[in-house]
Structure formats: structure tokens, C-alpha cells
Amino acid sequence: MMKKLFLAVVVALAAVTVQVSAENSSQPDKVYTREFIESAVTYRNVQVYKVFDYKNAYVVEYRKGHRDVGMVSIPKRWYSELPRKLNFRALPRGMEPYMTLISKEGAFERVVLTMPIDRTDPYWGISTQGQVEDADKDTLEVEY
């Protein structure tokens, strides 16, 4: 009796396996190939040398190429507007500050500054001048 039950289970499993493999062979695209979908969102990290805090904007000195220094201004209003175009992230211990530029479908989406929390840190600078002229912009152009 036990042998017959075991044989019945083996035959049933074989029948199910044959049926499943027949269904999969009729749709080989889904079984044997993988589709790689390219993301519409991209990012780029840039080393930050110093961030100057003005009344209406942050001016970021960043590494451009291997030896050059670039400067870009980021309006402070981007931090309070929704959706936010400016975010801050606490700098992990042992790392240098950096700026992450996030684009969606090739257009600027937002910027994230990874900086020390302590504003007395040498990476932070306070401007003695009043305001930045181009602080009313809606996008960020950065030269690498």
C-alpha cells in the first residue's frame, strides 16, 4: 500500500513538472531573459571645500575636475518650498563634505549637501556681505 502511494505521488509530481515546463517554454522571453530598466533618476557626488552662508543663499565651493574650484549658489528658499530642492544630511565621521546633485530625465531635480552639523566647523563660512544676486533661480547648473 505504501509503495502504491509513493508511486502515485511521484507520477503526480512528474505530471506537474511536465505541465509547468511546457507553459514556460511557450513564453521563453519571461523565463530566460532579464530586462534591464534604466532609471530616469541619476545622481552625481561632488566634493565640497566650503559652504558660505549668505542671507538668501548658500554659496558652495566645490571640486571641479582634478585641480579647479567651482562655485555655485543655492537659494535658501529651496529648503522651505515643497517639494524641497535642497536637503541637508549630517556628515558621517571620517568623511569629507560633498554635494549630491540629483537629476530626473536629464533635468535638475534637487541637491543634497552632506555637511558637518556644527556651523563653527571650518567647512562652513559666514559671509559678511548681504545677499547673493542669482538667488531667485529655479534650477542648478554645475560645471564638473
CB 103 within 8 A of CB 42: yes
Per the DSSP assignment, residues forming a β-bridge with 69 are: 63
Taking 80 as the threshold, does the pLDDT of residue 23 lie above it?
no
pLDDT confidence tier of residue 20, bands split at 50, 70 and 90: low
**Model confidence, pTM:** 0.71
Q: What is the pLDDT of residue 46?
A: 96
**Residue 47 reports pLDDT greater than 90:** yes
Whether residue 9 has pLDDT greater than 60: yes
pLDDT-derived band at 18, boundaries 50, 70, 90 = low
Contacts of 118 (CB under 8 A, 6+ apart): 124
Q: What ranges make up the beta strands (E) of 37-121? A: 41-53, 57-64, 68-75, 86-90, 98-104, 107-115
Q: How far apart are the first and last CA of the chain?
A: 78
